[in-house]
Amino acid sequence: MNKKNNDFNVLIFKAVDYLESKLGYSQSAVYRHKKNWYRIKTFMDSHDIKCFNQDVEKQIIYNKFKDRNMRELSRQEKEFYNSVKMLSEFQITGKIRVYPHMDRKIFIFNGQIGEAITSFLNYKSIDDRLSHSSIRSYRRYLFQFFNYCCNKDVRYFTEINLAFVLFYISDMDYRKGAPVYVVISALRSFIKYAFEQKFIDVDFSDKIPKCKSVNQPKLPSTYLKEEIEKLIASVERSSAIGKRDYAIILIAAKLGLRASDIANLKFDDLHWDKSTIKINQYKTGKELTLPLLSDVGNAIIDYLKYGRKKSEESYVFLTERPPHEHFSTGNVVTHIVQRAFIRAGIDIRGRKFGSHSLRHSLGFRMLQESTILPVISEVLGHKSTESTRYYLRIDLKSMQQCMLDVPQVAVSFYIQKGGRFYE
């Protein structure tokens, strides 16, 4: 392999590692970007270009898209555009931003109402720990409300009341936007926040009519005890990364911790003298104490002694490659479990196979063993047993115990009045 190909392959390898370990990209997303990067290599080979740089980036983009703007590109073309920009940025800075679609609208909030919306979004992100996708939804739908206020020349909260909000809801064209229940949910939450922050004098959020969408949730993906044992046994434990992944998978499978809590696990959370793990859950903020099972504890010790790189980090699990930092997102844990499922050869068709499936499987097994709901709620760190009831939908064994025997019907019943009615 000549030097130019080797250099470019190393660049791609490092960029792929960054997407997986730092940004927590899914395997499918990484595969698509990697495929696009090798298309760059093909272009360079055909034009006898020896080194990738910003000039090559511009040449590729012009050759591919000419003078077309982003709105004229297909989804695949936009993704290729993003891939080229990402690789160029990584070569220069050693980092990659999370690239949005290039035609995504930029939301600018200003004035009293706009600043309140910005403050509200920050609150939902930090205090309520909403996901990035939920925050994007809130931002999009509240921007529509903000624009409505601007078009009506409404600049201050003193001009916003229940009637104004109801007119807005009735004026919206839901064929071009979100379902009505999503818009109403965002508005109710924002109005309540505005009252709590004293932007408005009256909390009329509960007067905004509710519009509930009833969707039957999908059954959670679960795996049999034998499949989980096969998964655990398949993890290679001789290497440093194998020792780390083995400990992570044991924690997910036997303690049911969420991916975010495993990624954020610190040394202070491990109480060896009491054989417990005590954490504040990332999702709920609720304190959770679990037994530090012997096999889980031994796996963690094995990783700390023989696998973990020397670091001042207070987190237990670190990335394998320099600079050996803690996981930036729980997605890294999810991908570790996903890769282990694939390597183990377990049938994953029609089932999710991330770390959350191990959590579901633990709850399912506890139900099968007739564990009462409050205990399962405590182990899984749910806020209430209502969350745990979700698992009842897959507990066929317990449901069968609730079935009543149907008494036999006498033959004489069917032949009464000559049996004409049942012919």
The per-residue pLDDT for range 311-334, each reduced to its tens digit, is 989 999 998 887 788 888 888 899
| Nearest one of 124, 146, 144 to 133, comparing CA atoms | 124
Q: Are 81 and 102 in contact (CB under 8 A)?
A: yes
Report residue 194 as tokens. 């505005």
Q: Are 357 and 222 in contact (CB under 8 A)?
A: yes
Q: Are 343 and 233 in contact (CB under 8 A)?
A: no
Q: Record the pTM.
A: 0.52
Which residue bears the tokens 């009505």?
Answer: 180
For residue 403, the model assigns a pLDDT of 58
For residue 274, the model assigns a pLDDT of 93
Which residue bears the tokens 């009735």?
Answer: 170
CB atoms closer than 10 angstroms to residue 324: 13
**In whole angstroms, what is the distance from residue 10 CA to residue 148 CA?**
51
Interhelix angle 3-21/27-46, nearest 10 degrees: 160
For residue 73, the model assigns a pLDDT of 80
* CA trace torsion 397, 401, 402, 403 (10° rounding): 100
The segments of the chain whose pLDDT lies below 50 read 1, 100-104, 175, 396
